[in-house]
Structure 1
């Protein structure tokens, strides 16, 4: 009998990750394509469909081998009909993603929020390690959150549960967020927000910091560069990392107080900073959280890296009936 594959897709604002995954959650093949957000993202589904066809052709495998597609998309999702209420970074509003994807690929599809997918991935094969109460925070271009209670994703009444990135952490004078508000966690803990904080710090610096030297050498300011400079002992970079970790720990303490999950898992590109960020987040979490929560909820780094989203998407199509 032919082994069936699951198609996992993780749609990001810059790149879209795709993977063919077996029923045990093991990745057989994975690849990426650029996300074309021109003309309000109207080419996205077509590009995904073409890429899947090209990959199957390259592998000399029939489409019948693929059970269906699970896909994570940024922003609130109507889980029942698979449409996107609003994808602020993609230009989508009330977008019938599931229908379009099924038409383009001739495969059954199931859509959910990208951070929910990452949470499912970590629960299935990663840091969740069997935890049934789990919150996953993804720090990427934006900040997403996925909440799993008793093994199931919490969607909320309008698909917006887990929007941790839009918790206000700076009530007065915060930077504007893509969502239209100011002072959201996303403005200080996403890759974009961290770069803004680093640039602000450099503008007030006397020019002697290691980060400034790196910039003078032609490196662009990025969250990765900032974390590396902090690890190398640069006080300016470390101060920015501490600021980011403090805001994140504050936001997560509220999540912890509401949910008291077994684990809070931090993933996404920014989480690759590792211990230097995690240590600050943990101490801020313990400082702000209700004591019992601070002691019982564990904060750990995601273990699946960039694969969490596609693995969670595969889990969802596997378990969707």
Structure 2
């Protein structure tokens, strides 16, 4: 993306970032962070204003002299697309420079949604959104993508993900294809990382530097922010948390992965498997009411309906699954020591039972060193965290 963003000093972007982080900020407040003379900062602010990146937002309180001019970024100066590619559905959002969505488009990831069809669909929707909102293409900074992994961030490729309904998702040159259909620069990152980037953006004024994100859905995904930066390993295996062993010689999910891995206890597939198995063994308890269907027809949607209607057997399975997740969370927290833990995914949104049980078990197994008390949250953005975080990635990479 550097070809579009070269030619201007990085201090200019740093000043712009500071203004974005605190709406309605004065020149004096900006100077507290930068080793700039008053005249140098004035020139930068004038340049940012003249180019349309920032604008005056009024006057602050007087401290004895003239009231200071306050600045804020101009949200409509440029726009960014954020794309969430997940196994169940995908979301494309058009965002302004304050990361407010002008419009979100969502579609199911069914058996027909191959990578080729998805890229063509995204290209079509990008054009439609720009036309509908009357935004020139050259006013868009780029397209950020948060996708199911594993993937190669450097090459912008999805490698060999599991559980997509459609075929053809192995070794997909996603960045290349999306750049061809949108004519925009594209950044690709795994979905857990982009979700965390999005949630961190929403609390950036609180100066939280260490955050953990765990997504509990068809699989388990996690991301870690340390000292304000996403932690990347030697390879991108976003589902690795699911392979954390929490019961020696325990079961494997679908006969693959580690024995006793967390995903075999705390995932949509694990819960579906357990409910179907118990349904077959206990027909007198499962043959009527909220689960009056054949065991093979039971899916997560019918299980959630049974939970909501008060089925005690489903409730027990959910509580057990949440307890195992709590152990996995405690293991991560005891190693990483985040300030805040955000939990997302359909298991978390299925009801308070799973969320509250997982947190309770995690807190009971966290090693507290006096003042260490991490906070738990479902996040602010929740279902739009990935698409928002993907747009924030582009925002972060753009050099003024």
Relative to the length of structure 1, the TM-score reads: 0.87
2:63 paired residue number: none
1:113 paired residue number: 190
The question of 1:31 aligning with 2:108 is answered no
Deviation of 1:86 after TM superposition, in Å, equals 2.5
Q: Secondary structure at the match of 2:284?
A: coil
2:83 paired residue number: 9
Deviation of 1:73 after TM superposition, in Å, equals 0.7
Contact conserved, 1:118 with 1:308, CA < 8 A, in 2? Answer: yes
Q: Secondary structure at the match of 2:170?
A: strand
Counterparts of 2:205 and 2:334, CA distance in 1? 19
Deviation of 1:218 after TM superposition, in Å, equals 9.4
Aligned-residue RMSD, C-alpha: 3.0
Give unpaired runs (5+ residues) of structure 2: 1-51, 53-75
1:150 paired residue number: 227
1:285 paired residue number: 362
1:76 paired residue number: 150
1:50 paired residue number: 124
Counterparts of 2:212 and 2:301, CA distance in 1? 24
Q: Secondary structure at the match of 2:272?
A: helix
Contact conserved, 2:115 with 2:172, CA < 8 A, in 1? Answer: no
Q: Secondary structure at the match of 1:145?
A: strand
Contact conserved, 1:249 with 1:283, CA < 8 A, in 2? Answer: yes
Counterparts of 2:239 and 2:225, CA distance in 1? 9
Give unpaired runs (5+ residues) of structure 1: none
1:95-127, Cα deviation, whole Å (9 max, x unpaired): 322122112211011110011111111111269
Q: Within 5 Å, give how 1:136-215 maps onto structure 2.
A: 136-160=213-237, 163-177=240-254, 180-208=257-285, 212-215=288-291
Deviation of 1:24 after TM superposition, in Å, equals 1.1
**Residues 107 and 192 (structure 1), Cα distance of their counterparts in 2 relative to 1, 3 Å cut:** same
**Residues 182 and 54 (structure 1), Cα distance of their counterparts in 2 relative to 1, 3 Å cut:** farther
Give the one of 327, 348, 364 matched to 1:250.
327
- Aligned pair count reads 320
Deviation of 1:206 after TM superposition, in Å, equals 4.7
Relative to the length of structure 2, the TM-score reads: 0.71
Ranked by relative contact order (alpha carbons within 8 Å, sequence separation 6 or more), the top structure is 1
